[in-house]
Structure 1
Amino acid sequence: MIKYWGATSKVVESLVNARLWDREHDGFKFRSWSDYNPTKAQSEAKRAAEAERKRHAREAKAKKRAGEDADDSERPTGQDEMSERTPSEPSALSRPVPARPGPSPIKETPCSPPEGDAPQGELIAAPAKPSKKSKRGSSLPEDWIPSPELRARVSEKCPDINQRWHFTKFQNYWLSKPGAAGRKLDWDRTYTNWMLQEQEKATRGGSGAAPQQSNRPASFADMDEPSQHQMLDATVIDVTAKELNE
């Protein structure tokens, strides 16, 4: 068996030295084998005792069932459990049932018809609930521009900035903002806050100040008459100076 397992003499000597095996005249033996492993006789005795215990349990159960069947057959027909109770045992039927208050009548209040005298018997629909405003916000539309009223309010609060120039920055910034960071609930308020911040920068004289709006007329036709004469005189003087230099 040792050769079948492939064990060498060195391995066998190690098991003997470790006091796991004992030498016998015809080989080796496991030490204390019976202390940890039951013998064949012990296993058979245990199985027999278990079978006997189960047999007694089955017999006791069968006797108990037979006795219950005999008691049921001896009971008179039609006798219920109420007749077997002793006089001292209270009956569930003799207990008073607690009184319950009767339901209060529902008063029908006549509904006054609305203005316009709706036909009698016709149901009037309840007013629809106002739809809740979305709390997720929305991105800035491509064609969004501040209304004239909004521009007037911003010009009043922010007199030191070029609103048209800052609107271009505002639009480019929010159109390029991705995801949830680029969504707002109220773009009018967002625009107003943006311009107020630019006004603060301009007031402090910081780098965020925008070029000031020019009050100079866009063309010669938009000038008043004195300004036109002044511009013509300056042009004549300039031309005369160039001719003299030549």
Structure 2
Amino acid sequence: MAHLTDGVIPSFALPVLGAKRRYIDELVGVSLWIADDGAYRFHDWEKYQPTRESVEADRDAAAERKRRSREKSRQPSRRDMNVTDGVQSPDAAPSPTRPDPTRPTPSNEGVPRKRASRIPEGFAITDDMRSWARAEVPLVNVDAKLAEFVDYWVAVPGQKGVKTDWISTWRNGMRKQQQFAERDRATRPAQVDRDAWMNA
């Protein structure tokens, strides 16, 4: 429900969730899950959980309420303007909603913020990304991990699957893969020694 999938789990996501085939078959066998074109759907999901449509409608309504509240708070009251009978007092302080001309303008003002998006179709490793990987994550086969990275983020629903910088997200993912590789390399000699002892 938190991921707003309306009770649908793609088949390729099941191994990531640790689902075992015998449990999947049991759930389908008793009609708690319904196999549906490369995915599994919870039976009668909408009777017991809110749908994506209703959750998004509630969020939109809440966002609209906040927008109206902010808009209302920006409008100065007569008291704030120090107005008496329609005339502003000469010693009235400048309205807090207006910019102070004596203050320097922040350097990032007017710069458009990056829009967040889903992972781009055809996301690929550039030469710069490959150079970074050679220096920072030498134990990771980034080409082999690319499809896994893309599939993971395609499957992540809702706002969690939306990012403003996909190259930085990829770098963070590869750093985690480097940690896994270092951990595996550290434990491998101990496993080899134990196997040699048992076969001696």
Give the number of the structure with larger relative contact order, counting CA–CA contacts within 8 Å between residues 6 or more apart: 2
Q: What is the TM-score when the length of structure 2 is the normalising length?
A: 0.36
TM score, norm. by length of structure 1: 0.30
* Structure of larger gyration radius: 1
